[in-house]
Amino acid sequence: MTTLQEPGTVETEKMSAAVAMNSALDLAMAKDPKVVLLGEDIADPMGGVFKVTKGLSTKYGKDRVRATPIAEQSIVGAAVGLALGGYRSVAEVMFCDFLTLVSDQLVNHAAKLRYMSGGRSSVPLTVRTVVGNSRFGAQHAQSLEAWFMHTPGIKVVMASTPTEAKGLLTSCIFDDDPCLFIEHIHLEYTNKEEVPTGEVSIPLGQAAIKRPGSDVTVITYGPAVPWSLQAAETLAEEGISAEVIDLRTLVPLDFETVLESVSRTRRAVVAHEATQFCGPGAEIAAKITEELFGELMAPVARVGGTYAPIPFAKSLRAIPNADDLVAAVRHVTGR
């Protein structure tokens, strides 16, 4: 497995995140015949609701790309069994909201089996799911990553670009422990970029500094990365230099990069689309405060979703944006 190389050193092709993930799955299945996919409508001609698995059942057969009934509990339960049996299973749960139906398999089985077997039972399972689809209202749009961050034994991953979607998904597939790979619907087909066409991986647990800065550190991930970078541009015009860190992996979380940055800027804002109350930002803010309390110029601020179900009505807003982050940074910098 090779890690991501410097731009210009490998062959690339312009891809969306959906196409990049399709490439990751394709290459993983070609490399290891034990990689199998399960999920609703994932076989051709549908190729998945978001087309991430399009063409794979035609290429590898429907024994390895299995379209299942609408039964999320059975999908993940079967995937856990396959992983215990020596396969590398990739289960698609159409929306993050439906993880509530599979939490028993994930929380009580997949996450615990290595611990309950003295380390002898690995569970190389990847569960792919999607957040951010507010077009269908409150039951198809929840960002529940904090639930699974709270569960020891599950790795939680959320990419923000096509290249990272490919590299992180590859790392999840070949990890020997269960991984929850969360995609955002608005990133599936937007922001195309040049992505390596060959096999590429990005190590889990390594954050990336997407924009260097000196006045404040913005810690973010997934769909909040684009609007955090947009906010940083606005702040730069006001003379505020914001460093933007993309966590990429929520578990394991790269606190080393976060704390090193905040120790320099001495101010921090955590931004995400998940509910602010008890969201991932709460743990990050607490850790920064515990480690750097005497060095901080201001309390750590958080920008997150409203503590309410996601509304269907377009006139109502529960998800934060760049303007909210700009306001938070102005507050902590006293500008």
- Just list the catalytic residues: 140
User: 86 is written with which tokens?
Assistant: 């020596």
- Of 154, 177, 107, 124, nearest to 250 (Cα)? 154
User: How many angstroms separate the CA atoms of 23 and 193, rounded?
Assistant: 14
DSSP annotation of 3 reads B
138 three-state secondary structure: coil
7 three-state secondary structure: coil
User: 244 is written with which tokens?
Assistant: 């933007």
User: How many angstroms separate the CA atoms of 192 and 194, rounded?
Assistant: 7
Please give, one letter per residue, the 3-state secondary structure of 18-61: HHHHHHHHHHHHHHCCCEEEEEECCCCCCCCCCCCCCCHHHHHC
How many CA atoms within 13 Å lie on the side-chain side of 39?
A: 30
User: How many angstroms separate the CA atoms of 167 and 156, rounded?
Assistant: 14
Start-to-end CA span in the chain (Å) = 47
For 35, phi then psi, to 5°, come to -80, 120
User: 59 is written with which tokens?
Assistant: 């290429």
